[in-house]
Amino acid sequence: MSLIDAYLKDTAEKKTNVLWVFYDALNTATLTLIKGAPAVTFKVKIQASASGAHTDCAGTVTVNAEVITFTQAATKTTTTNLTVLPTITTANLDCNLKIWAIDTGNADIYEAVYTAFACRWEAVSKAFVQSTGTWTQSAAKVVAKTVYAIGDYLRKYGTTTEITIKRINTVTNGDGDVEYIEYTL
């Protein structure tokens, strides 16, 4: 264990927005959906595509009672608004299907997924100049070995407040290897 590893006694989480995918595999007669319904009214977007030897994208996908016809590889959207997980069946297809949730305005729906990482979280306020030349105030400093980017959202484990990374300082050793990274939030 290095000195920096012993210093990283806190846990933070990085937020990633992940597309709300119900299914992404070769089709079967009745699809087993891998995720429940989102908390908002939604529709379904379906992408039929070739995968290896599975290239027949001509057939139908039925979402509850709505039938979507494919004549070739394509992406199509249902018109029916849904509030619960639908039953989805297929006929005459031999291809990959990717099915995900979209809102009633046809925008993709994402879910927030949080990934924990070891860090040192210091609730310090510090004024600094951004790359745009404007002054700003930080809410915290996070020291970690995990690499993230300006604009990513972090939160201290056990809290719900997400803070944007505003500045990054990479600290290297004498050999030029990265020892740790300081994130100004």
Is the pLDDT reported for residue 137 higher than 90? no
Is the pLDDT reported for residue 33 higher than 90? yes
Q: What is the pTM of this model?
A: 0.76
pLDDT of residue 147: 93
pLDDT of residue 185: 92
> Going along the chain, which residue ranges are E strands?
10-19, 21-26, 42-49, 59-63, 66-70, 74-77, 88-91, 96-103, 110-122, 127-129, 135-137, 141-144, 153-156, 163-164, 167-172, 178-184
3-state SS, residue 33: coil
Is the pLDDT reported for residue 74 higher than 90? yes
* HSE, side-chain direction, 13 A CA sphere, residue 13: 15
pLDDT of residue 1: 55
Which element (helix H / strand E) includes 4?
A: helix 3-7
pLDDT in tens, 148-172: 999 999 999 999 999 999 989 999 8
Residue 54, C-beta contacts closer than 8 angstroms, at least 6 positions apart: 26, 94, 95, 96
Quick one: average pLDDT of 90-103?
97
* Cβ(60)–Cβ(100) below 8 Å: no
Residue found under tokens 């604009």: 151
